[in-house]
């Protein structure tokens, strides 16, 4: 299967990286300006996304051998350290997992506090649902892949439970039920392109950052606790959010393929939430109790980045303008 094309650079760091990947040349040195770059900014996040994608499907113009290029790995590590430091500085350090998960269940009380799924359920229009699907495709077209990296780093009850959940995510052995395939069907129903990574150039940095977090946590054994926390945060919030998004799609007249993706998650993730709490987190902390602060960090940092994305989307949509860097246009492509 052919990989996507390289993304368009967004600054000196990503420009240097894309050039070396496109022309197959060594990265001569860490790009100029790295030390002063915004860890949440377009340039750093696009560079990280590009480097991470070498571990997924790669790029059409890039040799698979570049995945383990020492110069690229050095650049990735430098960017990761800046990103991770910023996250640790900005996220509450409460080490209690129960508190972190409990905070996710607090519902907004007013219009100004409503989340993305609340807004889309009540007021969302088709073009806004199309934008939301385009942005979420950066993850959902590889759904569950970043979390699969944690499986070799778990054992016992935690591993067995994680594998059971991932089995469902990958369609329980049926290609047509793989969740990434279901999301592609949703996109097609909404008139969107279903090519893997197609909308990265349209994605604001707030969306790219949420995807990068999964790869960052998944690729490092030292961050396995945080990856489990991230996974728990996704599963805990997925069922109610999916119910609202399914209702939004019905309200705007989307077809059955679009509705099926979120309907599936309403049912599946309600079960997954309990398994994650009891067996994945419970099993991990029974064997490695010292990882509880990391698990709590993973939960909280997921909410932190999702809140940043929600603020960006809702600010734009309430002003009736596109939240994308490149609007979809009338053909939604």
> What is the model's pLDDT at position 269?
65
With a CB cutoff of 8 Å and minimum separation 6, the contacts of 261 are: 140, 179, 182, 183, 185, 186
Taking the CA atoms of residue 42, residue 48, residue 51 and residue 56 in that order, the dihedral angle to the nearest 10 degrees is -100
From CA 81, how far away is CA 210, in angstroms rounded? 16
Total length of the chain: 333
Residue whose token pair is 């090519």: 195
Give backbone dihedrals phi and psi of 148, rounded to 5 degrees, phi first. Answer: -65, -25
What does the pLDDT average to over 117-135?
Answer: 97
Q: Give the residue extent of every domain in the chain.
A: 12-90, 97-318
> What is the model's pLDDT at position 13?
94
> What's the angle, vertex CA 197, arms to CA 225 and CA 170, rounded to 5?
55
> What is the model's pLDDT at position 175?
95
Contact 2, 60 (CB under 8 A): yes
Q: Is the pLDDT of residue 321 over 90?
A: yes
pLDDT tens, position by position, 149-158:
999 999 999 9
> What is the model's pLDDT at position 177?
94
What does the pLDDT average to over 164-190?
Answer: 95
pLDDT tens, position by position, 100-116:
998 887 665 555 567 99
60 CA to centre of own chain: 22
Contact 323, 316 (CB under 8 A): yes
What end-to-end distance do the CA atoms of the chain give, in Å? 22
> What is the model's pLDDT at position 114?
72
| Mean confidence (pLDDT) of the chain | 93
Alpha helices in 25-155 (DSSP H): 42-53, 70-90, 97-104, 116-122, 126-140, 145-148
pLDDT tens, position by position, 13-35:
999 999 999 999 998 777 777 88
The yes/no answer on whether domain 97-318 falls in CATH 1.20.910.10 is yes
From CA 112, how far away is CA 244, in angstroms rounded? 17
- Residue 154's alpha-carbon distances to 31, 161, 174, 216, in angstroms, are 36, 10, 25, 17
């Amino acid at each position: 299967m052919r990989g996507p094309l390289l993304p368009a650079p967004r600054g000196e760091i990503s420009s240097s990286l894309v050039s070396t990947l496109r022309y197959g040349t060594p990265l001569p040195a860490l790009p100029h300006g790295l030390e002063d770059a915004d860890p949440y900014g377009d340039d750093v996040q696009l560079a990280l996304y590009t480097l991470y994608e070498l571990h997924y499907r790669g790029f059409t113009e890039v040799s698979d051998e570049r995945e383990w290029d020492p110069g690229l790995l050095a650049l990735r590590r430098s960017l990761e350290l800046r990103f991770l430091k910023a996250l640790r500085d900005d996220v509450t350090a409460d080490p209690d997992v129960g508190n972190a998960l409990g905070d996710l269940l607090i519902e907004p009380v007013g219009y100004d506090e409503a989340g993305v799924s609340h807004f889309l359920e009540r007021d969302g229009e088709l073009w806004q649902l199309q934008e939301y699907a385009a942005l979420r495709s950066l993850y959902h077209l590889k759904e569950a892949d970043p979390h699969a990296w944690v499986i070799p780093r778990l054992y016992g009850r935690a591993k067995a439970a994680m594998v059971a959940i991932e089995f469902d995510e990958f369609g329980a052995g049926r290609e047509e039920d793989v969740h990434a395939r279901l999301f592609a069907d949703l996109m097609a129903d909404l008139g969107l392109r279903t090519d893997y990574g197609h909308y990265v150039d349209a994605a604001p940095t707030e969306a790219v950052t949420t995807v990068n977090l999964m790869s960052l946590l998944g690729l490092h054994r030292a961050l396995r606790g945080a990856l489990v926390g991230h996974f728990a945060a996704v599963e805990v919030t997925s069922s109610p959010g999916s119910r609202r998004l399914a209702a939004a799609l019905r309200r705007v007249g989307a077809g059955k393929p679009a509705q099926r993706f979120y309907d599936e998650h309403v049912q599946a993730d309600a079960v997954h939430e309990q398994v994650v709490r009891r067996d994945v987190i419970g099993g991990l902390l029974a064997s490695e109790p010292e990882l509880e602060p990391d698990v709590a960090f993973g939960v909280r940092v997921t909410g932190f980045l999702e809140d940043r994305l929600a603020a960006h989307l809702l600010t734009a949509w309430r002003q009736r303008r596109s939240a994308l860097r490149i609007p979809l246009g009338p053909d939604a492509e």
